[in-house]
Structure 1
Amino acid sequence: MAISLENTKKITAPNYLGSKLRMLNDILPIIIKETEEDDIVCDLFSGSGSVTAALSNHRSVISVDIQNYSNDFIDGFSNPLIELDSDKFLECIDCEFKRLSLLAVELLEYEEALLADCEHIFELANFIENASFIRYSYEGFTSKSKNLDRLMLNTINTLKENSVKAEDIAATWNFGGIYFSFKQTLFIDSVLNVIKEQHLENIKSTVLSLACTLVNTIGKQFAQPLNPWDKDGEPKKSLFKKASSDRTLDAKSSYLRILESYLNQTPSKYNVESWCMDFKKALEKLPSGVTMIYADPPYTRDHYSRFYHVLETLSLGDIPEISTVKIKDKVSLSKGLYRKDRHQSAFCIKSQAPEAFDDLFRLAFEKGAKVLLSYSPFENEEHPRVMKIEEIIGIASRYFNDLEQTTITSFKHNKLNSNPNHLKRGLPGELLILFKNS
């Protein structure tokens, strides 16, 4: 069955373990074959919405995710603001960016100098590790550079003197210097501030796409920032090239391309609803028209742990409490500056996963809906799957008497870093299991 994947290619999705963007040609034919045109499909763990985006050209969709950033992605492609006066919008962004940049001009000039000359590699390594407003606000001055300490303190004081609150520069306060250049985060903040001022929330997905484009990490994901030092305490040989490549990307040029793509979208052909809530509450709330549930639950402890915290904070625009770690009796902020309230799914917790799967299958059965489950059977000692496939099938058999299994042999999961010995991958990379009653 030939399936149109229009809309999906325009999404700049976060690069995380388990992304289904490359599996759409396997997922969509099964759902469409098993449903009627008037049916509603529930995309239960929708993430950045690649499945919902493709499916919404063929069926009505209720998209569910407990994190707010997912709503932004889905609202952005399902109901884009195609009538936006982009010239006026961009003019406002330029004005806001100029205003904020003038308040941090010394810090921006210092950063630019570090990224322009590899002779400053030690200063650059120290900058990437320590140039964080939120770290300074929690822990004070801990860097190895008095010059950097002075610039950070002066910038913080200038912002305060000009009545700029941390919430007004959430990207810069939380992630500037660590995941992005300060110049990039000030542009991100400028866009977010204009969106908020002009009540243009449906365009927030463009900012999240921009963050995915600009982020300076290994693999362009948000799980952890760069570690600038090697095991001998020297700056890594690849640091300057990687940092200067990502951190000198022009945020405005990148945003113009994303915005153009956004404004040229065709809205979803079928109705899309986006629900931000726990999977169990969503299943209990589903209307009778839902006949298929596509479920892509997390299957290792990594999922839902760290990969989305930057997007979630940009979506919420808040200054969250940061999780801490204790090493040798010293309590410090987590290296990745993770939200303390970041979601940990029951499907990631070995003791809770069986009950979560039982809830999923039981509630689907009670609603009279089939379940198409994506799950990876690959075993890995360091990153084990929370449940084995046979255990999941055993739970599903309490409610369904028929299953069809599809092996996706060409699909391989993203790795957390470039180490070839980390997360070795075998086949099959993913299984699609359709549970129904004959």
Structure 2
Amino acid sequence: MVVRYMGTKRHMADHVRDAIAELEPAGRVVDLFSGMGSVAESLQETASVVTNDAMSFTAALSRARFTGSDRETTSADVIKRLKPAYEARRRELELVYATELNSEVTALEGSRTDLLNYMDKAQHVGNSTAQRRTAKAAAESSGSDHYALASLYFSAGYLSLRQAVQLDAARAAIDADSHLEDRDWMLAAWIAATSVLVNAPGHTAQFLRPNSDSAHTRIVRTWTRSIWDEFTLALDTVSQVGTESWRRDNSVYVGDALDLVSAGELRDIGTVYADPPYTKDQYSRYYHMYETLYRYDFPDSSGAGRNRSDRFTTGFSLKSAVVASFHDLCRNVSRMRVPLVISYPSSGLLDDAGVTVPEIARQYFGNVQTRSYNANHSTMGASTGASKKSATENLYVCLV
């Protein structure tokens, strides 16, 4: 997996692939909630794919892996191109933040209490009017001053300040690079490098604090690693999937899944696969950091988590709207006259609303088959209890 991701279907990808292969889709397979693309990757020898996700950063990863001609540029070529601009912006930012960087070194070399105090006192856009003013100026700048978002939003929390400086400097170099055919690859590697070193559990709804000796040791170890070094490794990790001819027929969309299937714009479709959220948790809050970094749009931010104010929400995660959302999904796919394959656990929010997937699907499809598998679901990085819980994952194959 390129980025750690809650709700990944990696454990189900083979089952989904096999179910779709049995349908012998007469066209491309649409993955409506594609996330990190586990299912799309599994389909490389079955059918071309259309991936869709509500978050922009996942689309960059999908484009880098599932589309495009075979790369002729090497990772070493990319690093050689980017290094001068990276070093220039890094030096500028280190001068701007010289005092804060020295304070960070002292905190990292000190006690657990020293590091906790440093994190608590650090200013960022979520708690400082001055930092918000600086962010506004950076957003409006067309020069190198524009590249300070990670430092202003996520330092001394999700990242060390030194790492945030490196992240901003790398983005400045990527944006200045003239090889546009490599842009998605570079940005995907940039996000992937961040995910390796982010000071957080399996998501970025919150960052870790040195509340124990083990947490303190982990943060110190993580914060002293280099984003740039990790970026050079990630360029190789973000490899292309499948053949060039397979990738040529793939497409990547960003948006609400229900909007996509209702718009009537999809062409050459053989099957639709849907893996909608199944809890009341709005997934966008778990990935707001990656989304903000990718978009680099200096959004309004609030709270210790530095959350953006315009996070995407879906009716699939609202008990009051989940039933209607499933009706919309089934109704619009049935109009396309293609099979619909749905992944959904027995313990999902729809069941809490007193309805099952087959009850809704049979109103729109003539044949609904159910296949069940044992699975382990993440508890969203919970601080207490088990990190995973057992569940029954169901595949519903809906035929017109």
Same fold (TM over 0.5): yes
Match of 2:318 in 1: 349
Deviation at residue 418 of structure 1 after TM alignment:
5.4
Q: Which residue of 1 aligns with 2:227?
A: 251
- Partner Cα separation in structure 2 for residue 427 and residue 163 of structure 1: 50
The answer to whether 1:434 aligns with 2:397 is: yes
User: What is the Cα deviation at residue 407 of structure 1?
Assistant: 1.9
Counterpart selection for 1:213 from 193, 196, 206: 196
Runs of 4+ with deviation above 4 angstroms: 162-167, 263-268, 384-390
After superposition, residues 14-413 of structure 1 pair within 5 angstroms as 14-16=4-6, 18-36=7-25, 39-79=27-67, 82-84=71-73, 85-86=77-78, 87-117=80-110, 119=111, 121-138=112-129, 167-198=146-177, 200=180, 201-203=183-185, 204-217=187-200, 219-228=201-210, 235-262=211-238, 269-270=246-247, 271-283=249-261, 284-322=263-301, 333-378=302-347, 387=352, 390-409=355-374, 411-413=375-377
Aligned equivalents of 1:76, 1:349: Cα separation in 2: 32
Aligned equivalents of 1:418 and 1:351: distance in 2?
A: 25
1:64, 1:27 → 2: CA distance?
17
- CA shift at 1:358, angstroms? 0.7
CA displacement at 1:205 relative to structure 2:
0.9
The amino acid across from 1:224 in the alignment is: Q
Inter-partner Cα distance in structure 2 for 1:347 and 1:182: 37
Deviates more, 1:124-133 or 1:365-374: 124-133
Structure 2 distance, partners of 1:61, 1:436, is: 19
TM-score (norm 2): 0.86
In structure 2, how many angstroms separate the alpha carbons of the residues matched to 1:57 and 1:206? Answer: 25
- Structure 2 equivalent of residue 231 of structure 1: none
- Supply the RMSD in Å over aligned alpha carbons: 2.9
Specify whether residues 225 and 130 from structure 1 end up closer, same or farther in structure 2 by C-alpha distance, changes over 3 A only: farther
Shift in alpha-carbon separation, 1:366–1:49, aligned structure 2, 3 A: same
**Structure 2 counterpart SS, 1:302:** coil
**Amino-acid identity (%):** 23
1:310 deviates by: 0.6
Residues 1:140 and 1:88: Cα distance change in structure 2 (over 3 Å):
closer
Structure 1 residues 263, 15: CA separation in 2 closer, same or farther (over 3 Å shift)? Answer: closer
SS at match of 1:242: helix
Deviation at 1:139, TM superposition (A): 8.1
Task: Provide, for residues 50-108 of structure 1, a one-character-per-residue CA deviation record: whole Å limited to 9, x for no partner.
Answer: 22233244311111112211211111112368234322223432333233223222322
Looking at structure 1, the residues matched to 28 and 131 of structure 2 have their Cα atoms a distance apart, in angstroms, of 53
The runs of 5 or more residues in structure 1 that have no matched partner are 1-10, 142-152, 229-234, 323-332
Q: Give 1:318 shift.
A: 1.2
In the TM superposition, residue 366 of structure 1 has moved relative to its aligned partner by 0.3
Residues 242 and 102 from structure 1, CA distance in 2 versus in 1: closer, same or farther, beyond 3 angstroms? same
Matched residue SS, 1:190: helix
Matched-pair contact (CA < 8 Å) for 1:224–1:306: no
- CA 1:140–1:171 in 2, change beyond 3 Å: closer, same or farther? closer
Local SS of the residue matching 2:285: coil
Change (3 A) 1:353 1:126: same
In the aligned structure 1, how far is the partner of 2:241 from the partner of 2:89? Answer: 27
The SS at the match of 2:199 is: coil
**SS of the residue 1:426 aligns to:** strand
Counterpart Cα distance in 2 of 1:403 and 1:66: 27
SS in 2 for 1:238: helix
Work out the CA distance in 1 between the residues paired with 2:123 and 2:280. 28
Q: 1:83 to 1:101 in 2, by over 3 A?
A: farther
Q: Which secondary structure does the structure 2 equivalent of 1:373 belong to?
A: strand
The DSSP-based 3-state class of the residue aligned with 2:311 is: coil
Aligned residues: 385
Kindly state the Cα deviation for residue 420 of structure 1 after the two structures are TM-superposed.
Answer: 5.0
Q: 1:267 to 1:172 in 2, by over 3 A?
A: farther
Q: Deviations over 1:378-418 (max 9, x none)?
A: 37xxxx66756852221111111222222221x21122235
Contact 2:193–2:231, Cα closer than 8 Å, also in 1: yes
| Structure 1 CA distance for aligned equivalents of residues 355 and 142 of structure 2 | 59
- Taking structure 1 as reference, are residues 57 and 89 closer, same or farther at Cα in structure 2, changes over 3 Å only? farther
- Going from structure 1 to structure 2, the CA distance change for 1:436 and 1:246 (only over 3 Å counts) comes to same
C-alpha spacing 1:52/1:163, structure 2 compared with 1 (3 Å)? closer
For the 8 Å contact 2:194–2:227, the answer to whether it is kept is no
